[in-house]
Chain A
Amino acid sequence: MREKSWREIPIGGMIEDAGNADTYETGSWRTYRPIWDAEKCIHCLACWIACPDSAIQLKDGKMVGIDYSHCKGCGICAFECPDKIAALEMKLETEVND
């Protein structure tokens, strides 16, 4: 984001664009990456409700993927995924082929 002059920004420190942190990427913070197996997923949403980074993507109430631009790789999603299901696995970023 270009840094603006004092004449170009709202006064008083107001931020008018609600949720614009969405444009700030935190994906590069990751050491481990959650890998989602759509086949195994039962869409219980245990990962989604626990994710601190709003990075579990849903469509019509079902999981459809992971927002890697914001996922910080904490691993909560994989930990919360029921053991019997194990639809999420953490892998070192360096070992993942993009």
Chain B
Amino acid sequence: MPAPKQLAEREDLMSGGHRACAGCLPMTAMRQMLLTAGKDTVVGCATGCVEVVTTIYPYTAWKTPFIHNAFENSAATISGAEAAYVSLKKQGKIDKKINFVAMGGDGGTYDIGIQALSGAMERGHNMLYICYDNQAYMNTGIQRSGGTPKGTATSTTPAGKVIPGKTQFPKPLTEIMIAHDIPYVAQATPGYPKDFSDKVEKALAIDGPAFINVLTPCTRGWRYPPEQSMEYARLAVNTCFWPLFEVEYGVIKINRKPKNILPVSKWFEGQGRFRHLFKEENKGIIDEIQAEVDRKWTLLLKREEMTQA
């Protein structure tokens, strides 16, 4: 099982010199994914922060083959590459094992790319899709996405005098992917590197489509100090806002059950995007979010018990 010590023996396949913001946790997720997947991995990424910061011509930070096509089609693009591999393998023109990883941010996955993702998963390509979820369209300037939490202040859902940030709960993307009945679905975060790395390894070992939703805090969009990126990833897990769990052929396993579950307000504190929620008139929103987090966590525990039985 790849813990940091084991990963350290492998080649770092993401170079320095990319232009991500200081403290960018999506880039940490990329490094961890590549350390796990290894060099024989074809990576595709939707338009977004990661794609932009890693491939400003004539520079690339990728030491694996990499393709960017457009915003909404990372899954379709990689499904095509995988089909080419299947075809060429069938013809005896290639024989080595190659991993196929498609990625997108929450905008490129929850929203504009969900059709291509759904199609690729349904078709059963042997590929892993990773959503690096930083909970808004960060690359274009922090606009709300279908993955943005309720109450979040973004550029398009500002905390105004009348409307206190985003009014909807996020789309349950991980659940939507579970409903696709694919062999492997998981939630992870680079804040728990071993867990994430284990999941990437497992997803790539499985024959067929896999999906991992990876929470990747964004210092600029979430408005917390950059050194605390890993901490905010862990807090999301320990408040049960972002449970670490995996679903293997329908069987749910929760990978981390916090002994001391923190209130969601502990995760909100210190994030500028939630500051307005601590005003007296908005406290009800935090209560509402807490109730939703509790409901989902309880349900997840029950589902785990049910499917494990």
Contact = CB atoms under 8 A, between A and B. Distances in A.
A and B touch in the complex (CB under 8 A): yes
B269 interface: no
Interface string A10-26: 00010101111111111
Interface string B254-283: 000000000000000000000000000000
B8 A18 contact: no
Interface string B217-237: 001000001111111000000
A35 interface: no
Interface residues of B, number: 45
Nearest to A70: B16
B87 interface: no
Nearest to B39: A18
Contacts of B31: 49, 51-52, 54
B23 to A, nearest CB: 4
Contacts of A90: 227
A76 B227 contact: yes
B198 to A, nearest CB: 13
Contacts of B61: 19, 21-22
B60 A19 contact: yes
Interface stretch (B51-59, B165-173, B299-307): B51-59
B18 interface: yes
A1 B58 CA distance: 9
Contacts of B13: 19
A53 interface: yes
B116 interface: no
A87 interface: no
Contacts of B15: 19-22, 54
A24 B64 contact: no
Interface string B225-254: 111111100000000000000000000000
Interface in B7-60: 7-9, 12-28, 31-32, 54-60
A48 B16 contact: no
Contacts of B27: 52-53
A69 B15 CA distance: 12
Nearest 10 Cβ contacts at the A-B interface: A70-B16, A75-B227, A74-B23, A74-B22, A21-B17, A52-B27, A72-B22, A24-B17, A19-B15, A21-B61
